[in-house]
Amino acid sequence: MKKSSVITLVIILIVNYSCSMGQDPLDIPSFGQVDKNSFIKELIDLGLVFEGKKDWLSNEPTYDYPFVVKADTFNFSIDFNQDIYGFGKQTSFELSFYENNSKELKNMVYEAYSSWYGTPDTIEQYNAELNRKTSSFLWKNQRLNIQYKTESVGENNLVHQIFYKSSNFEPYNKFLKDSIESNINIEELVIVNNPRPRWRKRGDGIYEFMYDINPARGQPCDYRIISAIRFKLVIEDEFKEPLYLSDNQTITLDFPLKPGKDCSMAGKDDVFFEYDIRNGKTFNVLYNKNSLESFLLEKARKYSLNNDIVPSVWIQSVAFTDGSVLNR
């Protein structure tokens, strides 16, 4: 017998043994207590999960779970990126399977989970959308919340999804959310590139001062949506001495900035930028170079003729769509 056949046989025997003993093979004590990599390693070491081909798009490994019921084995794919956050304890995962002989497998899965966890706490049947029927079954105990959903796709195809969540899934993710939001640095959350200050002569002693604001979104694990930004424009010379400052400028975003990268695919310290080019705005000021109010702005223009200037945007406050505000 080939080595691969022996490994497959051992995996099936282990899972079959657990099923026959009336216990869910995936209900292991470490779930909800260890990080993702440790949890996956334990499942593999126990022979419950095996690594498949790498995902062609992300190049990340995929995993399969041989779900053995009665005399049949169904290789469910298992996704470990179901946590809201991609770091900390692994408190959720998902099994999925697509097949075209719906009633038999659906009944077998339902019977298996009912034998392990008892009668489902809730059973729902409704039309998810036209020509689609979804059934949902929910089991709960002190450690786990398990939801089994089936959805018809076309005439003969059925999608099976089984969601595992530890009982502390919601409070744990709330703890992470509160921790991130209370410790976020405003410079990590919003980034503005070189504002590109420039001057243009408009008439006798009249100049137009212009600069660009293209706000970008950082920090993938803060899920609040940014709707407006208050900032100051600072122009310094090459010795960091201030030449001009424009305070309390506001830009309301026509397209609120959301996190552009799923945090479940990133670590809490990952850095990335996400922006919408449609939010870009050019600010402009017409001024008389001889007016007292424009003294500093004219000073910066004259200095820029023969020297380097260093422009920067300092974010003062960020407003979110939920009504909250983050101040510096």
pLDDT of residue 3: 43
pLDDT of residue 112: 92
> Torsion angle of alpha carbons 30, 71, 98, 80, nearest 10°?
10
pLDDT of residue 59: 73
Single out the residue of 165, 168, 164, 170 nearest to residue 76, CA to CA: 164
How far is CA 294 from its chain centroid?
46
Question: 84: which DSSP letter?
Answer: S
Residue 77, SS3 per DSSP:
strand
Token pair for 88:
């900390």
pLDDT of residue 220: 79
pLDDT of residue 100: 62
- DSSP per residue, 179-244: HHHHH--HHHHEEE-----EEEEEETTEEEEEEEE-EEE--TT--PPEEEEEEEEEEEETTS-EEE
Q: Are 27 and 116 in contact (CB under 8 A)?
A: yes
Helices (H), the chain: 3-20, 36-45, 102-117, 169-183, 186-189, 295-306
pLDDT averaged over consecutive 10-residue blocks of the chain (328 residues)?
42 42 85 91 94 76 88 88 79 87 79 92 67 80 90 76 93 90 88 92 95 88 92 95 93 87 62 74 94 94 95 94 92
Pairing label, strands 61-69, 281-288 = unpaired
Calpha distance 289→201 (Å, rounded): 10
pLDDT of residue 158: 80
Alpha-carbon radius of gyration of the chain = 29
Calpha distance 218→192 (Å, rounded): 10
Residue with tokens 């041989």: 66
Single out the residue of 324, 303, 311, 299 nearest to residue 213, CA to CA: 311
In sequence order, what are the residues at sequence separation of 6 or more whose Cβ sits closer than 8 angstroms to the Cβ of residue 324? Answer: 224
Residue 57, SS3 per DSSP:
coil
pLDDT of residue 7: 41
